[in-house]
Amino acid sequence: MAAAVWYLASAMSLTMSESTVADPRYPIGKHQRPERVTAEDRERYLATLDQLPEAMRAAVAGLNDAQLDTPYREGGWTVRQVVHHVADSHANMVVRVRRALTEDWPRITPYDQSAWAELEDAKTLPVEWSLKILDGLHERLGVLLRSIGGSEWERGYEHPENGRTTVGQAAALYDWHSRHHVAHITELRRRMGW
């Protein structure tokens, strides 16, 4: 739990310092895609990805159904939808990385994340179901990413909208994505006094 508390404290301090000037859709700022990913960067990304399940669980701890069904911003997803979205998104990331490591620059298929968030399961199921998905998914992801060498981090996939993306750049994106969505929830809790 100590790692998640540190993680949440870091996300919260960024959120609180930027929340008065930042777009509430991007409480930690927009993702900046790195051109080059260093070994030090990879370690930082791996630490975030390792901590995400515990950090997400801590972010929603103690929330009741009414709170889980509160949008994190006007016109935004509910906390429940955010948690389910993270599980959906990170499952897609794992498949993309696995394809990048076993195929030669595969063309991946994007998905309509907004439409997925409107499906009944994303709007109604207990968040615990997706928290359990994140537990197992991130355990496997950590093992997979720690097993690859430097050149494998340069392998990648072709995204129809975002172009060529290396495994290292995908890790950077999902490092940001993890912190981004935890901050949506922690910022809402701060604003609402939860």
| Per-residue pLDDT tens over the stretch 102-130 | 999 999 999 999 999 999 999 999 999 99
Query: For residue 10, what pLDDT is reported?
Result: 56
Query: For residue 4, what pLDDT is reported?
Result: 53
Task: Choose among 6, 15, 8, 180: nearest CA to 90.
Answer: 180
Element (H, E) at 159: strand 156-159
Tens of pLDDT, residue by residue over 123-162, are 999 999 999 999 999 999 999 999 999 899 999 999 999 9
Q: What is the pTM of this model?
A: 0.90
Q: What is the third-level CATH fold of 2-192?
A: Four Helix Bundle (Hemerythrin (Met), subunit A) (1.20.120)
Tens of pLDDT, residue by residue over 64-99, are 999 999 999 999 999 999 999 999 999 999 999 999
Has residue 174 got a pLDDT over 60? yes
Domain ranges of the chain: 2-192
d(CA 21, CA 24): 9
Taking the CA of residue 44 as centre, how many other CA atoms within 13 Å lie in the half-sphere pointing to its CB? 11
Query: For residue 192, what pLDDT is reported?
Result: 96
d(CA 73, CA 50): 27
